[in-house]
A and B are shown apart, each in its own frame.
Chain A
Amino acid sequence: MQEFDVLVIGGGASGLRAAISAKRAGASVGLISKVHPLRTNSAIAQGGLNAPLAKDDSPDSFAADTFLAGDELCDRDVVRAFTQEASKEVIWLERMGVPFNRDKEGRLDLRGFGSNSRNRTCYADDRTGYIVLQVLHEQFQREQIPSFEEWFVTSLVIEGGICVGAIALGLRNGKLDSFSARSIILASGGFTRFYLPSTASLGTTGDGQSLAYEAGARLMDMEMIQFHPLVFPKKQGLLITEAALNAGALIVNHKGESITDLKGMPRHKICLSIHHAMQNGGGGVSLDLRPIGKEKLRGYFPQTQELLRTVAGLDITKDLVPIRPLAHRPIGGIETNAAGETSVPGLFAVGECACNGLNGAGRLAGNTLTEAVVFGRRAGETAAKHATAGPKKSFPAAKVAEEEKQLARLFSGESSKDSLAKIHSELGHLMNEKVGLIRSGTGLQEALGQIQSLKDRYSRLRVKNPSRIYNYELTSYLELGSMLTLAEVVVLAAGARTESRGAHQRADFAERDDTNWKSHTLVSLVGGSGQLQKKPVAAG
């Protein structure tokens, strides 16, 4: 058994930041990640980090832009904390070694991005996420924190309503081990892999949210899913940073006509514009990066240039890039407060898997990475404090044996002739069709029924590969389970919100309803099914 004060589950930017700050606050820390930290999705974040560093900028202006992008669903106290701490965090990153782009005076260069009203986005070429991730991993290694890489968490352990740890399967040795901790921080990323196609990676399957949900935590604003407007539509979609639009790229319809000036619009509006252009124009839409110029493309968008060449066979200095809005990342997730605490004592959440009310109904472009480090630091500090306060709950000894039995059941018995990929594919297709950019009551009802039947089919599958060592059939099986659980929650939440706001658009409720819906949706697992609640937006 492993014992720590603070256990972090997930090795991306927010998890690493939380682990570092917990360690520096004096706690003993352990980190579990199902892939190596440098392979996590933080690596694909491109555009940059927002911070009100410019002389003509301020936390208030930053907050105003955040509220606007969030379509008035953001919690004020969280936004205030965030906009006040952003600058400090970004400077910290620079001092730890992030080689941000500089202006002529040698200061951090700030560029325009999305619907930010001022230039406030620090960037490192178009690989900002990856470079920030590397520096965080450097500092993580400096702290000598034990790191359990390629370990898959199979359950959270709850004793008397308190989270006391987790059980995980080591892919390399095939063994289950228990991880006892006083504070457990989930930083496990998004869940949009249940949209096919989407911009998600193979493992972006919402395991953390699913575990938290089953442990009794509430999932907030799950209907809010950010679609990215500029995605080259492969099965694993390749996104192009919106900074390209700010730099002069144009979106054109199949006749070559440029779609109305989309620069500076919030993401969901750009997505809808493109969506309508595709519906009405009767043809595809493309991104024209050529106006940016060869020099600037090479200098500022090297990652974009490389990936579109190797994956799509396109030369962005000559070719148009076919694009479509695709599901990108969740805005909703495990409900937390500004300190990262969930409703389950001992359980924390941060980053993509969490929802603390910062983003409301739409994330301001450039806020995600800043969010990961600001709240990562907070969650780590809070978790460390919590770990040293109060008596320790004991980790029930029998849990691993119980988990072994549960796991064994997945291997025993006759498997139906169905396939994981088929179920996943059908799920992915129905989510894109019925829970896409624009939803409707009837569509969502149908979706619910379809998901239920997929769940039945799933329950009749068994894992055929008997090994426990690098058994990716087993992990795929568990991941599909998470996706089915969360898909249902998303549909329930989408069905509940009878209005259109930000990323959630209803054909049957096309207007924003501030009277009834200036609230968050909450879904919790009660008696085996999802129960809905509403929580008013914090006015603070």
Chain B
Amino acid sequence: MLALTILIDGIIYASWLFIVALGLTLVFGVLKILNIAHGSFYAVGAYTAASFVAWSVSLGFSPAWSLLAMVLAAVAVALLLAPVVEKGVLRFFYGRDEVVLVLVTYALFLILEDATKLVWGPIPYYVSEPYMLFGLVETKTMSYVGYDFTLIAFAIVCGLGVWWGLNKTRTGKIVLAVIHSNEIASSMGINVTRVCTWAFMFGVFLAALAGAMTSPMISVQPGLASGVVIVSFAVVIIGGLGSIQGAAIGAVIVGLARALAVHTWPAAELFSIYVAMAIVLMFRPEGLFQRVQARKI
């Protein structure tokens, strides 16, 4: 029974991790930026969802509509924040060293930490309405909230959706070309700048959506972003920067490792994730799935 509990917990957590890490790895694949502010977009998504759901409830909509409110919140965040960040900040640093760009995104993280506090204040928000929408799932020993399982479904939908979009559509193939090598793509006539802009916006959307979807499960308060940053980095490094399968495998590894630790060796819950990250970096720095990239001789 313990094994089943660990498995279920692990897959639920892995689903959450995957949704969070997907945007991060995509943005790295296309723009070659390891975005520390990804966690900030997650937090803003959570806060915005809290606000949107509160409005939807106050306008008299039933709790089922709050799901739509959450998705709309993510869209709003992407539409408003992504252009400001990409055109207003990142654009000035394209072409610089990878580490310089990480520092730029760190600056963005700092700015957004305070910006979030200035807009929403330091008090915690609770988005309770959607949480009980799917009732409870009872097993002999455990009782799970149905909402947690929708996370699994959602992760699968996201993953398959992005995979299909990249591999089976014309737009996706263009994006793959840019991921492979933006120089070659540009020489083929692809508008790399436009691909980057849209890819970044999509990445922000995914981050915000992850935050929005998670908001009913937690209390939305300051400090949300920093925890998400570090754990999503671990997943993406383990799986391989820029790889979607990598993000999935990384999420599963980290999710199961954490569930295992929580139930058998609680002291290891936190550090096991980072030990895995360190081990991958030491023995296979490119991660478990190297992103498809042209080798520059």
Genuine A/B complex: no
Identify the B interface with A (CB < 8 A). none
Identify the A interface with B (CB < 8 A). none
